[in-house]
Amino acid sequence: MIQLTKKICLIGDFAVGKTSLVRRFVEGRFNDSYLSTLGVRVSRRVIEIERESPTQVTLMVWDTAGGESFDSVTKSYYRGSGGALLVCDLTRSDTLTSLTRYAEDFREVNPGASLVLIGNKADLDGQRVISDEQIAAAADANQAAWFVSSAKTGAQVEDAFLFLGAAICSVRSNQ
């Protein structure tokens, strides 16, 4: 079995659910209390990817602080990443608009990296202001795949991370 280690980043504005998505993916749980991430927190999870040969991939998941006040050091955290999950909050339209700038900054440091856009907080359906069509358009504009997820219920969280892991391995094996 082939063993690889890949770095991925979660990127998005404050309070979009980046840490909750990581916790759901890595630990399989959700916590309702909110604590803002300061700097960066690194978690890891081993996944298996089906390729020509079975491949075990250790995903090093970098959960970065969100928002503009973090811009001065952000690019150093992005360096060496195979891909990123761009996260917006489906109840806040401004969080989707911000993702284009984050995608540009990330790709400036990691040209050719894989991106996945996640519209998070799908469980808050009555408060949702971002449509699937808007997410699809933003994903297309940033050459990204997209998922609508809920860190609270776990819907589509695993799928998004596994998709990104497979995409990173596919891109790297084709280069």
**All domains of the chain in start order, with CATH:** 2-174 (3.40.50.300)
The whole-chain average pLDDT of the chain stands at 90
Q: pLDDT of 23-55, one tens digit each?
A: 999 999 998 775 666 667 899 999 999 888 889
3-state SS, residue 17: coil
Q: Whose CA is closest to 168, among 104, 116, 108, 107? A: 116
Predicted TM-score of the model (pTM): 0.91
Task: Residue 112: count other Cβ atoms within 10 Å of its Cβ.
Answer: 10
Contacts of 4 (CB under 8 A, 6+ apart): 55, 56, 57, 58, 169
| Number of separate helices (H) and strands (E) present in the chain | 6, 6
Q: pLDDT of 47-70, one tens digit each?
A: 999 888 889 999 999 997 766 545
3-state SS, residue 140: helix
